[in-house]
Homo-oligomer: A and B are copies of this chain.
Amino acid sequence: MEGWRLSCNSKVISDCTVLVPDIASAYKSRMRTADLSSPKEIAIFENTKADLVSSGIHFDNDFLALDVCMEAPTLEDTMPDSERLTWGIQSQIEVENVKIPFCVMKKLASTLRKYDFHVCVKGRHDGDTFHCMEISAPEDTAIVGCAIDIGTTTVTMVLTDLTNGKLLAKGSSGNGQIRYGADVINRIIESGREGGKKKLQDAIIKETLVPIIANLCKTAKVTPASILRLTVGANTTMNHLFLGVDAEPVRMEPYIPSFFNWEGLKAGDLKLPANPLADVVIAPNIGSYVGGDITAGTLASCIWDKDEMSLFIDLGTNGELVFGNRDFLMSCACSAGPAFEGGDISCGMRATDGAVEAAVIDKDTMEPELTVIGDEGQKVVGICGSGIIDIISELYRCGIINAKGLFSREGKRIKRDAHGMGRYVLAFEDESETGREISINEVDIDNFIRAKGAIFSAIDTLLNSVDMTVDMIDKVYVAGGIGSGINMKNAVNIGMFPDVELEKFQYIGNSSLTGAYAMVMSDQAIEKCVEVGANMTYLELSTYPGYMDSFVAACFIPHTDRNLFPNSIQEV
C-alpha cells in the first residue's frame, strides 16, 4: 500500500519518521472499559452512590428547568423582552436578580415569539440570582450533566438527568491521542513540538469527545445546549492536553503542572457540544502523575470518610494508589502500561460478547474451562482484563508456566512459534467466533508480569513510606478498566495484589467516572473532591529509594520473596 511498509520487513539505515496507524478505532472495539454497560457494573455504580450518600454527599444541585409563561406585549404593555422574561422567572422562583447571557439574549426575541411567550428556561439558581443558560420550547425541559473519564487509553462518559440522577446515555471510545504515543510522556513531547498543543487538544476534543457527546445527545434525545455542567476525571497530563495548556513543565524537572485545582473553564472555551456557559469542572490534580481521575476515584471510594485503613488501587494505563483514612491520604503512581485495559495483549479485547472474563484450567489435561460473556453458546472472540489474570494464575497453578512466565510444559494446547516462543491456546481456529486462534503467549505474559510488578512494588513502597505493612490494610478498593468480574484470589495468587483476606477486597468499577458523575450531580461532591485533593500527599516513586529494587523483585509470579504471599498457590 502506498506509503505503508511492514516494519518487520524494513531495515532502518538512517534517521526516519515513523507514522503509526491510527489504532484508536481499533482499540475501541478491542479494549475493555468500565462504561456502565453491564448490569454488574450498574450494580457496583449504584452501590457506590449509596455509599456516598451515607458519607454525607447529597445528590442535588442548583440547576433548574422553569416553565415560564408570559403575557404577550401590547401597545399598553411595552416591557422589553429581557424584563418580561425576568418577571416571568421571578413569578416561578424567588430570586432578586436574573442574569441573561449573550447566548440567550441573542435568540430571546425570536424564541419568545416562536412559542407565543411560553418557554422553558434552563439555568442555575445561585442564592438570590438565577443564571439563565438556555431558552427553549416549553416541552424541551431536559437538563443534563455530562460526566467524563478521560483515560490515557480510553474515554468513557455518561449523560445524566440533573433533576434525578438517572443515566440517560453512556458511551466510550479510544482516546484519539493514542497515535501520538501510548503513554503520557510521548504525548507531552509531541505536544511540545510546533503546533503540538493544538494537535493533541484536537485529538481529544474534536476527534474523541465531540463525537461521543453528540452521539449520547442523540441517544438521550437532548440538545447539546441542555448540558449544563460537565465534569472530568483525568490524569494531570490528560487535563493539560485537554485544555491545550503547556504540558512540558509536567515532564521536565522540577515537574510543575499548570494547575492542581482550577475553576473557571466553560464548555464554550473548548467548543464542546454543550451549553457554552456550562462549567467544565475538572477534578483536581495533586501531582504531575496523580491527577483528577484519582481524586475523583478517591471521592467515589469514600475512603476519606472511614476510620479503617484503606488501599485504593486504580488500574489504568498508569497504576495509581491511595492509602489512608479520614486522617491522612497518601498517593503515588506507577507506570503499569495498558495491559489491564487489554492493551499490550495479543488477543486482548473489551469485556463484551465473546470475551473470556474468567477461566479455570484442568491441571492434568490442561484443558481450559472458559467463562465467555454473551448468550449461551457464544464462542470466544478474545480475552478481557479479568480473564488475563485468571489465565495467568491458572497457567502458573498448573505448572504450565514458571515464575518467570515461560512455558514449562508441553501438550496439545501449548504451541511454539519458529523462534520457540510458547503460547497457550484458549480456542483453536474452529472453536473461536472469528476463525482465528485465541491464545496467550510469553510476550503477553511478560507484559502482564511487568504491569502487575509495577503495581505490587508501588503498594509495597507506599506502605513502607508510612512505616506500615500489608497486614495493617483493612480494606482494598480496586478500580479501573479491568472489568467487573475480577477474581481477587487469582490477582493475589500471581502477586499483583497484597496477600490479605479476600473479603477485604472490593471492586468499585470505573471510579473516575463514578466520581465525575457524583460531581456533575452534586455541588457537595465537587467541594469534597477539592478537599480530598487538597489533603492528599503525593509520593514521587521514581526518586524514592528502594523502589526500583522492589519492582525488579516483583517481576516474578508471585514474587521473589515468597514470604510475602503465604496464601499464594505454589508452582508445581
A residues near B, CB below 8 A?
73-75, 77-83, 99-103, 105-110, 113, 243-249, 253-266, 269, 285, 287
Is B253 a contact of A75 with CB atoms below 8 Å? yes
Is A105 a contact of B259 with CB atoms below 8 Å? yes
Which of B78, B247, B264, B285 is close to A255, meaning CB atoms less than 8 Å apart? B78
Expressed in whole angstroms, the Cα–Cα distance for A258 and B261 within the complex equals 39
Indicate the member of A244, A255, A260, A264 with the most B CB atoms within 10 Å: A264
Is B75 a contact of A260 with CB atoms below 8 Å? no
Indicate the member of A80, A110, A247 with the most B CB atoms within 10 Å: A80
Is B110 a contact of A246 with CB atoms below 8 Å? yes
Which of B73, B256, B263 is close to A80, meaning CB atoms less than 8 Å apart? B256
Which of B79, B245, B254 is close to A105, meaning CB atoms less than 8 Å apart? B245
Is B81 a contact of A258 with CB atoms below 8 Å? yes
Expressed in whole angstroms, the Cα–Cα distance for A113 and B22 within the complex equals 34
Return chain B residues, CB-CB under 8 Å to A103: 269
Is A74 a contact of B105 with CB atoms below 8 Å? no
User: Closest CB of chain B to A517's CB: distance in Å?
Assistant: 24
Return chain B residues, CB-CB under 8 Å to A106: 243-245
CB contact under 8 A between A260 and B82, given known A109-B246, A109-B249: yes
User: Closest CB of chain B to A353's CB: distance in Å?
Assistant: 42
User: Closest CB of chain B to A272's CB: distance in Å?
Assistant: 12
Is B243 a contact of A75 with CB atoms below 8 Å? no
Is A82 a contact of B259 with CB atoms below 8 Å? yes
Chain A contact surface mostly? loop
CB contact under 8 A between A80 and B260, given known A102-B243, A106-B245, A244-B106: yes
CB contact under 8 A between A109 and B245, given known A74-B254, A78-B254: yes
Is B254 a contact of A102 with CB atoms below 8 Å? no
Which of B110, B253, B258 is close to A109, meaning CB atoms less than 8 Å apart? B258
Can you list 18 pairs linking A and B with CB atoms under 8 Å apart?
Answer: A73-B254, A75-B253, A78-B287, A80-B258, A82-B259, A82-B260, A82-B261, A83-B259, A100-B259, A105-B259, A105-B262, A105-B264, A106-B243, A106-B244, A106-B245, A107-B246, A109-B258, A113-B249
Is B264 a contact of A101 with CB atoms below 8 Å? yes
Q: Which residue of B lies closest to A270 (CB)?
A: B102
Return chain B residues, CB-CB under 8 Å to A75: 253-255
Expressed in whole angstroms, the Cα–Cα distance for A264 and B110 within the complex equals 19
Which of B82, B109, B265 is close to A262, meaning CB atoms less than 8 Å apart? B82
Return chain B residues, CB-CB under 8 Å to A246: 107-110
Expressed in whole angstroms, the Cα–Cα distance for A100 and B264 within the complex equals 7
CB contact under 8 A between A264 and B102, given known A245-B108, A246-B109: yes
User: Closest CB of chain B to A104's CB: distance in Å?
Assistant: 9
Is B244 a contact of A81 with CB atoms below 8 Å? no
Expressed in whole angstroms, the Cα–Cα distance for A249 and B84 within the complex equals 14
Expressed in whole angstroms, the Cα–Cα distance for A83 and B102 within the complex equals 31
Q: Which residue of B lies closest to A197 (CB)?
A: B106
Return chain B residues, CB-CB under 8 Å to A258: 80-82, 105, 108-109
Expressed in whole angstroms, the Cα–Cα distance for A107 and B77 within the complex equals 50
Q: Which residue of B lies closest to A77 (CB)?
A: B254
User: Closest CB of chain B to A31's CB: distance in Å?
Assistant: 31
CB contact under 8 A between A266 and B99, given known A249-B81, A254-B75: no
Return chain B residues, CB-CB under 8 Å to A257: 80-81
